[in-house]
Amino acid sequence: MTTPLTLDTVGRDDGSRAVVATGEIDLSNVASFTTALEAAVEGSDAEAPRVEVDLTGVDYLDSGGINVLFTHADRIRVVANPILVPVLTISGFTELAPVEPARV
Protein backbone atom coordinates (compact mmCIF):
# COMPACT_ATOMS: atom_id res chain seq x y z
CA MET A 1 0.00 0.00 0.00
CA THR A 2 1.32 3.44 -0.95
CA THR A 3 1.59 6.00 1.83
CA PRO A 4 -0.28 9.24 1.00
CA LEU A 5 1.99 11.92 -0.46
CA THR A 6 1.03 15.00 -2.45
CA LEU A 7 3.67 16.73 -4.57
CA ASP A 8 3.38 20.08 -6.33
CA THR A 9 6.03 21.93 -8.32
CA VAL A 10 5.77 25.70 -8.43
CA GLY A 11 7.71 28.16 -10.58
CA ARG A 12 8.90 31.36 -8.91
CA ASP A 13 9.29 34.89 -10.34
CA ASP A 14 13.07 34.70 -9.91
CA GLY A 15 13.28 31.66 -12.22
CA SER A 16 13.66 29.16 -9.42
CA ARG A 17 11.33 26.30 -8.62
CA ALA A 18 9.86 24.83 -5.46
CA VAL A 19 8.73 21.28 -4.76
CA VAL A 20 6.06 21.20 -2.08
CA ALA A 21 5.45 17.84 -0.39
CA THR A 22 2.62 16.97 1.98
CA GLY A 23 2.24 13.64 3.76
CA GLU A 24 4.93 11.05 4.44
CA ILE A 25 7.95 10.13 2.31
CA ASP A 26 8.89 6.47 2.54
CA LEU A 27 9.79 3.45 0.42
CA SER A 28 6.26 3.21 -1.00
CA ASN A 29 6.36 6.65 -2.63
CA VAL A 30 10.02 7.74 -2.77
CA ALA A 31 10.05 7.17 -6.55
CA SER A 32 7.42 9.90 -7.00
CA PHE A 33 9.41 12.25 -4.75
CA THR A 34 12.57 11.48 -6.73
CA THR A 35 10.86 12.18 -10.05
CA ALA A 36 9.38 15.49 -8.85
CA LEU A 37 12.66 16.71 -7.39
CA GLU A 38 14.73 15.67 -10.42
CA ALA A 39 12.29 17.42 -12.77
CA ALA A 40 12.44 20.61 -10.71
CA VAL A 41 16.24 20.59 -10.54
CA GLU A 42 16.62 19.81 -14.26
CA GLY A 43 14.00 22.41 -15.20
CA SER A 44 15.57 25.14 -13.10
CA ASP A 45 17.95 27.63 -14.64
CA ALA A 46 21.51 26.87 -13.49
CA GLU A 47 21.89 30.55 -12.61
CA ALA A 48 18.65 30.62 -10.60
CA PRO A 49 18.63 30.23 -6.82
CA ARG A 50 18.53 26.74 -5.40
CA VAL A 51 15.34 24.73 -5.82
CA GLU A 52 13.33 24.97 -2.62
CA VAL A 53 12.11 21.67 -1.20
CA ASP A 54 9.21 22.51 1.10
CA LEU A 55 8.76 19.72 3.63
CA THR A 56 6.59 21.80 5.97
CA GLY A 57 3.70 19.36 5.51
CA VAL A 58 5.82 16.20 5.84
CA ASP A 59 5.59 14.33 9.15
CA TYR A 60 7.84 11.40 8.26
CA LEU A 61 10.93 11.12 6.07
CA ASP A 62 12.73 7.79 5.81
CA SER A 63 16.27 7.08 4.66
CA GLY A 64 15.17 6.76 1.03
CA GLY A 65 13.83 10.31 1.07
CA ILE A 66 16.96 11.57 2.78
CA ASN A 67 19.10 9.90 0.10
CA VAL A 68 17.14 11.74 -2.60
CA LEU A 69 17.89 15.02 -0.85
CA PHE A 70 21.60 14.12 -0.60
CA THR A 71 21.71 13.41 -4.34
CA HIS A 72 20.66 16.98 -5.10
CA ALA A 73 22.22 18.79 -2.10
CA ASP A 74 24.24 21.13 -4.31
CA ARG A 75 21.10 22.48 -6.06
CA ILE A 76 18.46 22.58 -3.29
CA ARG A 77 17.50 24.30 -0.07
CA VAL A 78 15.03 22.73 2.35
CA VAL A 79 12.29 24.23 4.46
CA ALA A 80 11.45 21.43 6.88
CA ASN A 81 8.81 20.61 9.43
CA PRO A 82 10.66 21.16 12.74
CA ILE A 83 10.18 17.48 13.59
CA LEU A 84 12.46 16.59 10.62
CA VAL A 85 15.31 18.98 11.41
CA PRO A 86 17.07 16.64 13.92
CA VAL A 87 17.02 13.81 11.36
CA LEU A 88 18.48 16.06 8.67
CA THR A 89 21.13 17.28 11.11
CA ILE A 90 22.14 13.82 12.36
CA SER A 91 22.36 12.52 8.79
CA GLY A 92 24.84 15.30 7.95
CA PHE A 93 22.56 16.81 5.31
CA THR A 94 22.57 20.23 6.99
CA GLU A 95 26.30 20.46 6.33
CA LEU A 96 25.72 20.16 2.57
CA ALA A 97 22.61 22.24 1.93
CA PRO A 98 20.71 25.02 3.65
CA VAL A 99 17.91 23.76 5.93
CA GLU A 100 15.44 26.13 7.52
CA PRO A 101 12.83 25.04 10.07
CA ALA A 102 9.32 25.91 8.93
CA ARG A 103 7.24 28.27 10.98
CA VAL A 104 4.23 26.16 11.87
Exposed (0-12), middle (13-18) or buried (19+): which is 92, by Cβ within 10 Å?
exposed
Q: What confidence tens digit (pLDDT) does each residue in 64-85 have?
A: 999 999 999 999 999 999 999 9
Nearest to 61 by CA among 26, 21, 18: 26
What pLDDT does residue 86 have?
97
Q: How confident is the model at residue 15 (pLDDT cuts 50, 70, 90)?
A: confident
30 versus 15: which is more confidently predicted? 30
The full set of domains in the chain, from first to last, is 5-101 (3.30.750.24)
For residue 91, how many other CB atoms are within 10 A of its CB?
16
Please tell me the pTM assigned to this model. Answer: 0.93
* pLDDT tens digits for range 31-60: 999 999 999 999 887 777 899 999 999 999
